Amino acid sequence: MRVVTDRNEMARLCREALRPLGLVPTMGALHGGHLALVAQARRENATLAATIFVNPAQFGPHEDLAGYPRDLERDLALLRSQGVDLVYVPPVEEVYPPGFDTWVEVGRLAARLEGARRPGHFRGVATVVTKLLALVRPDRAYFGQKDAQQTLVVRQLVRDLDIGVVVVVVPTVRDPDGLALSSRNAYLTTEQRRAAPVVYRALCRAEQLWRRGEREGERLRREVRLALQGERLVEEIDYVSVADAATLEELDRVAGPALVSLAVKLGRPHLIDNITLG
């Protein structure tokens, strides 16, 4: 496994790599969710590249950039054990050198949900993903369904900017009690961790009602909210959404595929999760 910090060297190694070349972008603090992306990408490509970069551009001024969990040695050992060929770990100045002044802005899709909760977040995501795709030029790039809106934003920018890459979305990996794996779960106290599965339970409540024939968006949203409010450690419900799975427009009635998604503040972190209906 080659660990690369220099972008010219990364570009050269990717140019010379056996095809197909797969890319798994991450912010490190790796867990089983990341490893599911890596495992699938390993099976589907001759060469596998991963990146570890905590992207300052996708953090708001009051978010957890400085405190974001980091453990490079452990991450590299995990990636090595999964058979990754190339890992790009750029310093911030390598990605955003002095004078950097071009941004990728995805429109309507990026304004909703996480985009409304975290202004500028998807501008940072879209910019860094575009840069990584331009540098690595992979045949396939892998993203987790855990960040459903991010997968839609990436698909949109790949389409709009004529980037010839196949975007592969990998199902959410959960702990046995339903909590979606996330680097930010490390912030939870024991008590908060015990309460956190309420997030997935609330989503499952919507699915249960939908299976019984409930199609009214507002009723599904209300039931998810009620389930969340039943847990006193949920300090704040940022949003509960039942939206068109392609456009993220809120639905009055569920007719086709719908994304049920939510964000809540539980202790220090905001937890996000989603499921798809239909």
The residues annotated as belonging to the active site are: 34
The contact pattern for ligand AMP, residues 159-188, with x = CB under 6 A and - = no contact, is: -----------x-xx------xxxx-----
DSSP bridge pairs for 86 = 2, 49
Considering the complex, what minimum distance in angstroms separates the CB of residue 2 from ligand AMP? 20
**Which of residues 243 and 254 has its CB atom nearest to ligand AMP in the complex?**
243
180 with 145: CB under 8 angstroms?
no
**Which of residues 175 and 231 has its CB atom nearest to ligand AMP in the complex?**
175
Residues 6+ apart with CB under 8 A from 178: 197, 199, 200, 201, 204
Instruction: Please give the size of the binding site for ligand AMP, defined by CB under 6 A.
Output: 17
The one among 53, 68, 122, 143 contacting ligand AMP by CB under 6 A: 143
**Which of residues 33 and 217 has its CB atom nearest to ligand AMP in the complex?**
33
Contacts for 124-128 with beta carbons within 8 Å, 24 or more apart? 124/55, 124/56, 124/57, 124/58, 124/59, 125/55, 125/58, 125/150, 125/153, 125/154, 126/153, 126/154, 126/157, 127/57, 127/102, 127/103, 128/25, 128/53, 128/55, 128/57, 128/58, 128/95
By CB under 6 A, residue 270 contacts ligand AMP: no
The contact pattern for ligand AMP, residues 26-65, with x = CB under 6 A and - = no contact, is: xx-----xx-xx----------------------------
Binding site for ligand AMP (CB under 6 A): 26-27, 33-34, 36-37, 143-144, 146-147, 170, 172-173, 180-183
